[in-house]
Amino acid sequence: MQAASMEDKVVIVTGSGRGIGREIALLMAEHGAKVVVNDTGASVSGQDEAASPADEVVELIRSRGGEAVVSRDSVAEWPSAQRIVAAALDNFGRLDCVVNNAGILRDRIFHQMTPEEWLPVINVHLNGSFFMSRAAADSFKAQRSGAFVHMTSTSGIVGNFGQANYAAAKMGIIGLSKSIALDMQRYGVRSNCISPFAWSRMIGAIPDNPEQRERVEKIKTMTPDKIAPFAVFLGSDAAKDISGQIFGVRRNEVFLFSHIRPVRSVHRAEGWTPETIASHLVPALRSSFAPLDRSPEVFSWDPI
């Protein structure tokens, strides 16, 4: 198989001032990529903008002999997403990979969640992934190559308490990625998702209560640098025949997630009534109903 080199490739990593994005940007540069380090400097909730930590990441890449530039534009608006892509094209002359990593959290139990908590999370995660991908699509199409790496989450794939906004956005990203993979395969463009298990500022925002405390302590052992190698691989030519997939990375474990498909079916030649649904369909299918479980219950063993 071809080596997972990013030599002479240009990569945008959104939300790369800290955490998982920072580690991806650094490893991309270590493998030869020219990197646009995009970060607004916002807090976990998307507020309180400060001097961007992207500057530190860029200086670190340059001190190691790499090439990088800072972008402080938000992914959550179409004009600013276009400016992020323009930063790659203007500074490096091309674009080969977009890592849609930027994200915020505004956790709240569903029946207390407000539109002000719903909309910004959807805007950054889902709309931001669309805006960035669409802004890059024309360049990818013209050069007949390119890779998208999107961050999803088991909060959507499996489920979690108090994250309806985040879970909905992350499931939407899976649909977006698959659509990109289908629509752009003819141009040699691929699109994949990573569901990362790692300690970050966002995970650190999980409410501190006895039920979550043990889970958080386990997550602290899963460092962001463990996610970066898979992102570099998916951005490289070594993954040129991999598209439309959903991977999970949990310390030294890698998971391939299934896509939603029918599990059982029943039929009645004469059609269905509410009564026969209750008396026939439900008993026939109940054993295959998905439980109301959450990510900690599905991934119940300690990370390896």
Catalytic residues: 166
Residue 50: CA atoms inside 13 Å, Cβ hemisphere, count? 10
φ, ψ (nearest 5 deg) of residue 190:
-120, 160
DSSP assignments along 232-286, one per residue = HHHHSGGGTT--S-EEEEETTEEEEPPPP--------TT---HHHIIIIIHHHHG
- Rounded Cα distance between 14 and 200, Å, is 15
Six-digit token string for 197? 């298990």
φ, ψ (nearest 5 deg) of residue 37:
-90, 105
Q: What Cα–Cα distance (Å) separates residue 133 from each residue in 5, 190, 202, 208, 253?
A: 22, 11, 23, 35, 28
Helices (H), the chain: 19-30, 54-63, 78-92, 115-122, 128-143, 154-157, 164-184, 201-204, 210-219, 228-235, 274-276, 282-285, 295-298
Tell me the residue length of the chain.
Answer: 304
Distance in angstroms between the alpha carbons of the first and the last residue of the chain: 26
Q: 112 Cβ partners below 8 Å, 6+ apart?
A: none
Q: Which amino acid is at 97?
A: C
Q: What is the DSSP letter of 185?
A: G
